[in-house]
Structure 1
Amino acid sequence: MTELRDRIEAARAAYAVPGLSWAIHDDHAVADTGALGVREAGGDSPVTETTRFQACSISKPVAVLGMLRLVDRGLLDLDQDVNERLTSWRIPRNGTWQPVITLRHLASHSAGLTASGFPGYRRTDPLPDPVQILSGAHPANTEGVRVDTMPGVRMRYSGGGMTVMQQLLEDVTGTPFADLMRELVLDPIGMADSDFAQPPPAAVHDRLASGHDAYGRPVEGGWNLYPEQAAAGLWTTPADLCRWALAVRAAYQGAVDAVLSRGLAREMLAPRLPTGKAQTGGLDEIGLGVFLAGRDGQVRFGHSGSNVGFQCHALSYHELGSGAVVMSNSDRGYFAVQRALAAIAERCGWPDYPDDLEEPKQPDRDSVAALAGHYRLHDASALSLRPVEDELAVRFDGQPEMIFGFVGQQDGQLIFASRVIGVRLELELEGTKITVRQDGTTITGTRH
């Protein structure tokens, strides 16, 4: 254990991550936990095994487990048009076409919905309710959720889809989402250090880690708020997320006291569509709420998480019964989390675990600095770019500014990505003219 702790500490220190925590499970229970660093840079409050981190997008598979429990009870149908059950809001028409979206689509990110992710809200901001978020109405800071590709054809990650699911669960049960998740998932599994409440209750603030940017500076107010609870709103610990993984595995094996039927657990962990790009641990297919990889007794499931100031990953081999969760309170935590999981994989003897590790890429600062300015784009929208050390602050018309990290350079294009919402921008500047490529769409513009 000392050697593992030393390797994880070396990774934390190498990437200047203020705090990091992990847990490992065997086939029956949480077998080991560890914590390093501090809750907030410059402070002396240490991270402990019960310090809560933002689960970020790992909120999604936890929420999907709750949804599947309602399917088990007969309150929901995976293949029914969700508009037949939604009462507070409905998925809008796309012109004259009214798409049919099901819970199976939502849980497998194949609904063709917009809104890949959410930037969150400062603690001083007014918070929208889910209907305002789905509609894109004030005070929501993102556009409304709509269908713009054919449902069921391909996997396209959508936090918006999880927010539709959140609203559907509230409409069907009449119960606030955080209370419903406590009843369906957190309490039955024993996740005592977890809560979907947004904002988190003041009584637990002294147990919460503060988020930090890539330069070690604390997030304003300590953390952002995520009223998109199913997509990004869970506060939890690595040990509690291991308990979630063990509960899914027990259901998959048909345990008599499992929280979910064996049939639905097997649907949850059945591969449906390729993702196009593997997550940490080689996860390259999507099931229901979880990402998957492996064959022939080496099947593993899990999910990555990335909110402002937090990075985490959960991974479990459901036939071996071994798995782990690593959580960090830094935008640079991604690289430390990768290395911590690689060290755990080696110690636990995980088969077929990929050994490729990413390094932060350093941009040509002069090239990044040259991008600075305000651009009028050909589609009549506007784009503002502002270099921030090795990163780029990006603001589109009507949207809050977001920080994009440099990920590479190719054929004269500078490539940046947001770890918050899964958007990738390829920027090419020639004189005062800029070309912006995003998800296969190309827009040109001129600095003014």
Structure 2
Amino acid sequence: MTDLLADYDRPDRGVAVVVRHRDGSVTSTTRGHARPGEPFTADTVSYCASVSKQMVGVCAALLDVDTEASVRHWLPDLPRWADGVRLRHLLHHTGGLPDDAELQERMPFGWDSPSVLRALAECPEPRFPPGAEHRYDNAGYICLAAVLERVSGTPFADLARQLLFEPLGMRRTRFAADAVPAEAAPANPDGDGPWPRPLSLGDGGAWSTAGDLLRWNDALMPGGHFDGRVRTLVHTPGHLDDGTPLDYAWGVGVTRSDGVLVHGHGGSWPGWTARVVRVPELGVSVAALANVDDVPALVALTDQARRGLSAR
């Protein structure tokens, strides 16, 4: 792992990788800096990007939402073609919603939840019939967060705090779209960070630490905080409407690697990268955050850590 960490050993970027071993012990490896003079540690707050999606998935499971309900039942301002988009389509990225590029043409000044929802309302047709294809998109999870707000009558950031972060002891984790948390590592100077523009909630929006993300992993492992119903829902891959199976569950990728089941998800935004990986059959997991948007580097780093844990 040392070679893969070398590029982070700089005053303007850093990374933290925290692992849970088979015997239950925890180790962390860090390199670089959150900002000049301040080392990047397992307690450094950084941006979770699309790792946030599985937090939305768990909230949906805890609220026991009707996944066959039309998204337009909850968000009536969406266009009529959205009548056929079920919540399960959004969870599995099969809803046919316009992609990021098409939506950004309709919202040139930033990427925030209200703007995305307004842009969706102006789209005359879906990319494809709901349930016909699997194409990863961000707008679906923005819609899901908005639906959960209406189901619960609670702003999504407060809902996630009440259902997830407080019960799990994730004291340094929160959803925040309007301002970078004061304690957060700034985006790496090489990245074109999104602030002070607001960000969206659902497809991203969560800020956390590698240590807190390990608590998140623990809660979703067998015997963890969340009960079997929630864990099963969140980790059950979806399918197209014709029955074609997918390798994506509720904000979680579900694959087999080196003969073992792997649950994982990553994410990036200019200036930050995040990834969580769980191997439930072995009881091991990895959580990593960095303040530089180098997805291949963090994937290589977490995969190497995961393979090393699995081989022991």
Whether TM exceeds 0.5 here: the answer is: yes
| SS class of match (1:285) | coil
User: Do structure 1's residue 66 and structure 2's residue 55 form an aligned pair?
Assistant: no
Shift of 1:285: 1.5
- The match for 1:114 is 98
User: Do structure 1's residue 20 and structure 2's residue 4 form an aligned pair?
Assistant: no
Question: Could you list the per-position Cα deviations for residues 254-301 of structure 1 after superposition, in whole angstroms to 9, with x for gaps in the alignment?
Answer: x4x7334x2342232122249xxxxxxxxx821121111118971111
- The match for 2:247 is 285
Residues 263 and 145 (structure 1), Cα distance of their counterparts in 2 relative to 1, 3 Å cut: farther
Q: Distance in 2 between matches of 1:127 and 1:191?
A: 29
Question: Could you list the per-position Cα deviations for residues 212-247 of structure 1 after superposition, in whole angstroms to 9, with x for gaps in the alignment?
Answer: 2xxx536468x5655311111111112222222221
Residues 17 and 112 (structure 1), Cα distance of their counterparts in 2 relative to 1, 3 Å cut: farther
Counterpart contact for 1:8–1:343, Cα < 8 Å? no
Q: Distance in 2 between matches of 1:304 and 1:224?
A: 23
Question: Could you list the per-position Cα deviations for residues 72-104 of structure 1 after superposition, in whole angstroms to 9, with x for gaps in the alignment?
Answer: xxxx21222232233xx433124xxx5322221
Q: Which residue identity lines up with residue 299 of structure 1 in the other structure?
A: L
Out of 261, 265, 268, the residue aligned to residue 299 of structure 1 is: 261
| SS class of match (2:84) | coil
Q: Which residue identity lines up with residue 192 of structure 1 in the other structure?
A: R
Shift of 1:26: 3.5
- The match for 2:243 is none
Greater strand content: 1
TM-score normalized by structure 1? 0.60
| SS class of match (1:57) | helix
- The match for 2:190 is 217
User: Do structure 1's residue 249 and structure 2's residue 221 form an aligned pair?
Assistant: yes
Counterpart contact for 1:22–1:33, Cα < 8 Å? yes
Question: Could you list the per-position Cα deviations for residues 374-401 of structure 1 after superposition, in whole angstroms to 9, with x for gaps in the alignment?
Answer: xxxxxxxxxxxxxxxxxxxxxxxxxxxx
User: Do structure 1's residue 172 and structure 2's residue 151 form an aligned pair?
Assistant: yes
Out of 200, 212, 216, the residue aligned to residue 240 of structure 1 is: 212
Q: Which residue identity lines up with residue 297 of structure 2 in the other structure?
A: A
Residues 229 and 267 (structure 1), Cα distance of their counterparts in 2 relative to 1, 3 Å cut: same
Larger radius of gyration: 1
Q: Which residue identity lines up with residue 233 of structure 1 in the other structure?
A: G
- The match for 1:320 is 282
Q: Percent identity?
A: 24
Greater helix content: 2
What are the within-5 Å matches in structure 2 for residues 29-108 of structure 1? 31-40=26-35, 43-71=36-64, 76-86=65-75, 89-94=76-81, 99-108=83-92
Tell me the matched-pair count.
303
Question: Could you list the per-position Cα deviations for residues 411-446 of structure 1 after superposition, in whole angstroms to 9, with x for gaps in the alignment?
Answer: xxxxxxxxxxxxxxxxxxxxxxxxxxxxxxxxxxxx
User: Do structure 1's residue 336 and structure 2's residue 309 form an aligned pair?
Assistant: no
User: Do structure 1's residue 227 and structure 2's residue 199 form an aligned pair?
Assistant: yes
- The match for 1:265 is 231
Counterpart contact for 2:51–2:267, Cα < 8 Å? yes
Shift of 1:337: 1.2
Q: Distance in 2 between matches of 1:70 and 1:26?
A: 32
What are the within-5 Å matches in structure 2 for residues 360-379 of structure 1? none
Out of 128, 147, 156, the residue aligned to residue 135 of structure 2 is: 156
Counterpart contact for 2:71–2:83, Cα < 8 Å? no
Give ranges in structure 1 of 5+ residues lacking alignment. Answer: 120-124, 275-283, 352-448
Q: Which residue identity lines up with residue 339 of structure 1 in the other structure?
A: A
* CA-based RMSD: 3.3
Shift of 1:154: 1.9
User: Do structure 1's residue 134 and structure 2's residue 101 form an aligned pair?
Assistant: no
TM-score normalized by structure 2? 0.84
Residues 23 and 298 (structure 1), Cα distance of their counterparts in 2 relative to 1, 3 Å cut: same
